[in-house]
Amino acid sequence: MALKFSIFNVFKIKFMDQKLSQEKILVTAALPYANGPIHLGHLAGAYLPADIYVRYQRQRGRDILFICGSDEHGVPITITADNEKVSPNVIIDRFHAINKESFDRFGMSFDIYSRTSLPIHHETALGFFKEFSDADLLVEKKSMQFYDNSRQMFLPDRYVEGTCPKCGNLSARSDECENCGSLYDPSELLNPVSKISGDKPELKETSHWFSRLENSRKELKNILMRWMRIMNGKTMFCSIAKVGFPPDFRIEQLPVISIGE
């Protein structure tokens, strides 16, 4: 999805239940990745502020739900599993248990601490996808991406390293160079190496789905404006790093209080 929020701290949504005409508050904190243990910095930066806020609202008698859980998908997990020669389930089971116990011991008052690997989350994500697809909001496009033959997997950008075609930096990523700031096509990268296997990856055709934002600008803007009206005058803790909104949308209109990364 081009509409992308990167959430570092707490994301709070308020909405009105028309039938009950009672305000409900949903608080989520960033899902910790089940590829390593959480540390004090995570607790202090992301979970403690949310927990304080939730406890305060509970004491005020508000109808509030505080949810969190382990993020259990992604390439780093499969790499850890490969390195340890175990299945990814072993890794996610291990770190879900460790992190859940840490949260329990620190007294984080989640109402739900779930796992993204549970079938209900797969079904929900699939439901969103199908709904968007049925509404013709998605378009499939083919593109070329580096493929690691020995690991039999497509490589995300950060797992390919090579020589920058513009400045000669030896540790450039597949489509951008942090040294000179250039963006280029992966086919232009010189001497590409898979950071997973150390082998030379090959470019292979793959498909991705893209949202048709160009057809939805007006609708998106209306949704955002309605959301901002609902949020008007209320406090929201979130920080937004990347937003792919329509060009005439002004980010400063969002009622955002950033409390840092």
Rank residues 166 and 221 by Cβ distance to Zn ion and give the closer one: 166
Q: How far is the CB of 204 from Zn ion (least distance, A)?
A: 25
Q: Distance between CA 79 and CA 17 in Å, rounded? A: 44
Rank residues 71 and 176 by Cβ distance to Zn ion and give the closer one: 176
Q: How far is the CB of 180 from Zn ion (least distance, A)?
A: 3
Which residues make up the interface to Zn ion (CB under 5 A)?
Answer: 164, 166-167, 169, 177, 179-180, 182
Q: How far is the CB of 197 from Zn ion (least distance, A)?
A: 24
Residue 148 corresponds to which amino acid? Answer: D
Rank residues 187 and 222 by Cβ distance to Zn ion and give the closer one: 187
Rank residues 182 and 197 by Cβ distance to Zn ion and give the closer one: 182
Rank residues 167 and 225 by Cβ distance to Zn ion and give the closer one: 167
Q: How far is the CB of 191 from Zn ion (least distance, A)?
A: 13
Q: How far is the CB of 17 from Zn ion (least distance, A)?
A: 53
Quick check: 70 and 32 in contact, CB under 8 A? yes
